[in-house]
Structure 1
Amino acid sequence: MTNKVLNVGGNSKAIPLPPQYAGFEHILLDIDPSGNPDVVCDARQLDTLTADQYDAIYCSHNLEHYYAHDVPKVLAGFRHVLKDSGFVHIRVPDVDALMRTVLAKNLDLTDTLYQSPAGPITALDVLYGYGKKIAESGEDFFAHKTGFTPKSLLHALRQHGFPWVFTQTGNLEIQAVAFTHEPSDAAKQLFKLQVMA
């Protein structure tokens, strides 16, 4: 039986998943039907889907698009659709690292942090969402409504049903892999991440 990964807010299957998901069946969930997702759904409504059907949930740069009061509902939805042996893999901007970088380099919020395939990315883009995309689309969903530090993401995951959390930071990003039950050695090796104390 093939493992299934639910890619939450992945926009399009043309955007590749990380190599850890090689061999997984890729199920795309997005609120925007234009990317041809398998499931058109807001992540706050995951509890309306069939329970216990996914081995993994990959949520890359999507959780920060929800207000802080909606994050528990999204995480509860992740638990609802996730098998007991499964895990969530969350990637979000690291606001702590962003502020340290801005201060260390004496940058203004509108100064360029780095060049991306989409163009120059400013500190404001990392904090509030890619301004050019928001302006062009007129969609405020693309705006960031919640910021995370490694500590706040750890707290949110543990408080909402994921006691086993592995994290990694770098490139102004936090990656967390979280489990509802103690992970197997194979799962730990898959990501080579450290448990946060």
Structure 2
Amino acid sequence: MLQAIKTWLKTNPLLYRITKAILNQVNSTAYVLESFKPQPLEKSLIIGFSGKLNGWVTFDIAPGADYLGNIKNLKLFSSNSMNRVYASHVLEHVSYHDAKVALKEMYRVLKSQGEVFIAVPDLVNVSKLLETEFAQTAIDITFGVNRPVKDWQPQHKYGYTQSTLKNLLKEVGFTNIEEFCPFLEDTSQLVISNIKISICLKAKKGELVNV
């Protein structure tokens, strides 16, 4: 039904522009109102999750999360306020530069010795599927083209190997970088043909460096 309405609106350019402007204004108002929310009581933050999850504060660009916003700006949360920050299959949706900005924000909101948990598609492992019956799935995972979000085409703007993700975490100032075993039921646990498709790294907050 919604898709039919959207298709119809696109046949009326003026009406489509007016409707889009109204919706953008409504969305902007929702984001402004977020600034008045109190600091969360929970001290574990999950980024890129548009729902509710016991024991976690959820944060996402889409409605449904406890807090709305963009991963490049976690201003809704005080510095040194979180014990854990978790982001699964989020960083690949932004450029390398923006991923560094986002990680700096995660670093800021973490308490001393707080931990960040990052999961992203593993380009090395996913590429192993290209010569199998799961080749199309591998391409979809790499580029994210079959799961459109709003007007993003393609969804994924950068790719990682374990070494490039480690280097990025180090550049931001994280230390004690090591693999972690996925503990939430999300894409980080996905295994295809006995191949893990995610890099899962955790790290601790160290001295922040200017990069």
TM-score when normalising by structure 1: 0.70
The answer for the alignment partner of 1:6 in structure 2 is 45
The answer for the alignment partner of 2:139 in structure 1 is 124
Q: Rate the CA distance shift 1:26–1:48 in 2: closer, same or farther, 3 A.
A: closer
Contact 1:47 1:76 in 2 (8 A): no
Return the alpha-carbon distance in structure 1 between the equivalents of residues 153 and 67 of structure 2.
18
Count of paired positions:
154
Q: Deviations over 1:65-97 (max 9, x none)?
A: 111111110010001111112100011110011
Query: Once superposed, what is the RMSD of the aligned Cα atoms?
Result: 2.5
Return the alpha-carbon distance in structure 1 between the equivalents of residues 115 and 42 of structure 2.
12
Structure 1 unaligned runs (5+)? 15-23, 114-120, 183-197
Structure 2 unaligned runs (5+)? 1-40, 182-194
Structure 2 matches for 1:130-145, cutoff 5 A? 131-134=145-148, 137-140=149-152, 143-145=155-157
The answer for the alignment partner of 1:31 in structure 2 is 61
Return the alpha-carbon distance in structure 1 between the equivalents of residues 180 and 127 of structure 2.
18
Query: Residue 13 of structure 1: CA displacement?
Result: 2.3
Q: Say which of 178, 182, 191 aligns to 1:166.
A: 178
Return the alpha-carbon distance in structure 2 between the equivalents of residues 83 and 29 of structure 1.
18
Choose 1 or 2 for highest CA Rg. Answer: 2
Structure 1 stretches of 4+ moved >3 Å:
none
1:112 and 2:134 are equivalent in the alignment:
yes
Query: Residue 133 of structure 1: CA displacement?
Result: 2.2
TM-score when normalising by structure 2: 0.65
Return the alpha-carbon distance in structure 2 between the equivalents of residues 3 and 44 of structure 1.
21
Q: Deviations over 1:91-127 (max 9, x none)?
A: 111001112332xxx24xxx535xxxxxxx6112111
Amino acid paired to 1:132: N
Contact 1:10 1:30 in 2 (8 A): yes
The answer for the alignment partner of 1:69 in structure 2 is 97
Contact 1:29 1:38 in 2 (8 A): yes
